[in-house]
Amino acid sequence: MHYFYSKLISESNIALSKEEAHHAFRVLRLQVGDKVGVFNGEGKIYHCSINEISKSNCTLLIEDVIVNDRERSKLTILIAPTKSNDRFEWFLEKATEIGVGVIIPLITEHSERKKIRSDRFEKILVSAMKQSMNSYLPVLKPLTNFINIIDQFDSYDRFISHCVDSEKKDLFDEIKIDNETVILIGPEGDFSGKEIQMANDRGWQGVSLGKQRFRTETAGIIAVHIHSLKVKP
């Protein structure tokens, strides 16, 4: 079965976007009566039949709804985009497959990339959600400066992963299953000493992801995976 993503959902019908309709009609050559699945990005998968289809329009009849018995991930990742777009896009894809609630691209003092293509990133997230059958689409926030976000998330369990030699506890041991969690992941050059001190002064806890030193995108995936292992039975 082919799967699509849509937010245009009523009680009995779903409309696909022009882009998704074009893919269904021109690429997949689907026809009226064919069965498809639709993600709403909020934990539901709709099983549908095609009611009308053209290169720019596709409407579906809802036949069944499957509701994910898990809630959306309570993990927010703040991560500096890598110099190579491919590496950061790999992070977005894998983080979506594993399960993350919110992704916030971050500008730091040592950031290698300070501009992003949010539209392309959104497409990668949607594709990864459909491929993995996760059913939850991560929320992608705008590119944000470290100094503008460090005072937020007071009600969250807040962690910062950095490479400075200091006493740090293992992230796995610190994650609490029922709590909203936010983790800071820095660029290849790590957070600056000033940024680490600023985070510590505001109550962010330094944590270790392991004994090795990881690339930014690898550290991000490890953090998401550790959280997933802790919260999922």
- In the chain the domains, ranked by start, together with CATH numbers, are 2-67 (2.40.240.20), 75-231 (3.40.1280.10)
- Please provide the average confidence, as pLDDT, over all residues in the chain: 93
Distance from C-alpha of 97 to C-alpha of 93, rounded to nearest angstrom = 6
The per-residue pLDDT for range 175-226, each reduced to its tens digit, is 998 899 999 999 988 899 999 999 999 999 999 898 888 899 999 999 999 9
The owner of tokens 């703040």 is 78
The per-residue pLDDT for range 33-81, each reduced to its tens digit, is 999 999 999 999 999 999 999 988 999 999 999 998 888 999 999 999 9
Asked if 208 and 180 touch (Cβ cutoff 8 Å), the reply is no
Query: Which residues lie closer than 8 Å to 52 by C-beta, 6 or more apart?
Result: 32, 58, 59
